Structure 1
């Protein structure tokens, strides 16, 4: 039940004016305690999507958003304006069930400063834990945003649902920074772009580079590279790096008939590096594609660099591997 409907139902049940005044005062003081002291949105460096996080949450170091010592997190993901049409209408309980997100209730409109949006609520299990989860999809002048909130059940008192609801109602957009400024704020550097150009920064730590005029290329007509560090800790047991890299390679979206044709395991300093080469078929266009993936495992995190291109463009993949070899965490 939303704050508004809760109040309407509550006041409809009250008959005496004195009780109305008493409850109004209690509810008002409760909401004042829930809302942030300064409900002004906080924006990640070079980010255009922000919010005022619940008390105890601070800007995350490894991704765009906020984190809490209990394991709760808020992930802010920015997308192009056209992503709204691809998402709106498809974020249904049935569609999200495939990802393990069990939605409770219907989606609800969400007021957004400088735009509009909606929110879905529910729960999800991962790594032996159950999380309370909120997924908000919003749009404004700079583009489309995806806000994902996850709170472990055990942390429900430290990051209460009311505080999350209040934070979601502070979501706001600001003017978009240049791609160059966004790249400069990434948690890694790229020493050699090898003819590719940065096109889109996503989730505050991911980057898409491409070769061609299109920034958004759903038909995969242009060679492209996706760089994405793990979100938070992703410990992989020693000796299991290659198997984990293969699972990542097999998880490519809108791809079928995925096959690994070559595998190489090396070390870089104290890190384990697994490089895979392979092929797949684009599920939408039936175009034969070639791909190369380099995953650098270091401590409790990894960095993934995936390059793909039309199967006839072998040089594009060779240059993608040059890019992967030049990427270094800050």
Structure 2
């Protein structure tokens, strides 16, 4: 944000900065996460992120890119309002505005959000082009606005581009971990360049919740959990899973593997949409720099799938 004094000079400098940033962006080619189909020209100083699909800056600023099927655009836009996102802590300055996207369309919300004791300037854009929908989230710590100014972010958003996605095998190869034993599950898609969804059944999208499924997801960045608090963290993570209600822990186990603490919970709950009973298993591997969470779900009458989900969890190794 420009200082309030010398407003005309401030606006002029901002305009010049925006023009310069946009010119540099147009001269460069969009960068894409490995095997990803949504990319952009990142602001100066931002480099490809190692722990997620997107870009990061030494100041703590980040651009997170999540990809979804093209048909997800309509439902996302319907919920793309300041009121809907306020529940997540995001305070938008105004309603969603059109965002120009080469060969596609998009909308963007601008505002701020507080997290972990810090205040961030934030942009959330939903875009569609080709065969994909992208959700692009930019966060810049208020203290770093001079290093990643608004004008540079706006210029980067104007360069969002699409390409043909890599194969699922390519996307899995780009994950920061490998899965050694699928145990009868089938990989469906990767999410945000670091999460993996697997299922046991013919449907890729199981809106009725009748197929057992697994989600593997590491923490974003450094998110170490203090020693001795792993169990409390695991229970809180399971209780916060909004897709299942009335969660009751039925079993708990703590082990060590390769210098990491591995905490496993078994639980039962209810699918709020169908009212059906659901069985769950959650394994979290706690390393000094972060954690890796593997969540398995199955209809209660297919609880045998949980043992196979735990085989998958035991086979996951960091790259």
TM-score (structure 2 length as normaliser):
0.93
Match of 1:295 in 2: 284
What's the counterpart of residue 266 of structure 2? 277
RMSD: 1.7
Q: CA deviation at 1:196?
A: 0.5
For structure 1, the residue ranges without an aligned partner over 5 or more in a row are 1-9, 11-24
- Partner of 1:217: helix, strand, or coil? coil
Question: How far did residue 82 of structure 1 move?
Answer: 2.8
Within a 5 Å distance, the mapping from 1:105-124 to structure 2 comes to: 105-124=94-113
The CA deviation string for residues 5-25 of structure 1, in whole angstroms up to 9 with x for no partner, is xxxxx9xxxxxxxxxxxxxx9
Give CA deviations for 1:206-226 in whole Å, capped at 9, x if unaligned.
110011111111221111000
| 1:201-244 Cα distance to aligned partner (Å, 9 max, x none) | 11001110011111111221111000011111112111111111
Partner of 1:32: 19
Q: Is residue 33–residue 193 contact of structure 2 (8 Å, CA) maintained in 1? A: yes
Retained in 1: the 8 A contact 2:18–2:152? no
Indicate whether 1:132 and 2:102 are aligned. no
Displacement, 1:26?
7.6
> What's the offset of the Cα at 1:158?
0.3
Q: 1:93 aligns with which of 64, 75, 82?
A: 82
Q: Distance in 1 between matches of 2:44 and 2:210?
A: 46
Other-structure match for 2:33: 44
Question: Is 1:314 aligned with 2:307?
Answer: no
Asked if structure 1 preserves the Cα contact closer than 8 Å seen for 2:121 and 2:139, the reply is yes
Instruction: Look at both structures and tell me which one has the larger radius of gyration over its CA atoms.
Output: 1
1:219-274: per-residue Cα shift (whole Å, max 9, x none)? 21111000011111112111111111111111213321111111111111111111
The Cα of 1:300 is off from its aligned counterpart by 2.0
SS of residue matched to 2:311: helix
Aligned to 1:249, the other structure's residue is in SS state helix
Distance between the aligned counterparts of 1:269 and 1:30, measured in 2? 50
CA–CA separation in structure 2 for the residues paired with 1:262 and 1:314? 14
Question: Once structures 1 and 2 are overlaid, which stretch shifts more, 301-310 or 249-258?
Answer: 249-258
Per-residue CA distance 1:100-124 (angstroms, 9 max, x = gap): 1111111101111221110011111
Q: CA separation in 2, counterparts of 1:177 and 1:209?
A: 18
Aligned length: 308
Match of 2:193 in 1: 204
Instruction: Return the offset for 1:53.
Output: 0.3
- 1:14 maps to none
Does 80-89 or 189-198 show the bigger shift?
A: 80-89
Q: Is 1:144 paired with 2:133?
A: yes
* SS of the residue 1:87 aligns to: helix
Report the Cα distance in structure 2 between the residues aligned to 1:89 and 1:155, rounded to whole angstroms.
Answer: 32
**Aligned partners of 1:29 and 1:81: how far apart in 2?**
36
Q: Aligned partners of 2:74 and 2:243: how far apart in 1?
A: 18
* Residue of 152, 157, 165 corresponding to 2:154: 165
Contact 1:137/1:147 (<8 A) preserved: yes
Distance 1:130 1:158 in 2: 15
Aligned to 2:312: 323
Aligned to 1:82, the other structure's residue is in SS state helix
Give yes or no for contact 1:39–1:170 (8 Å, CA) kept in 2.
no
What residue is the counterpart of 1:213 in the other structure?
202
Q: Is the 8 A contact 1:296 1:304 kept in 2?
A: yes
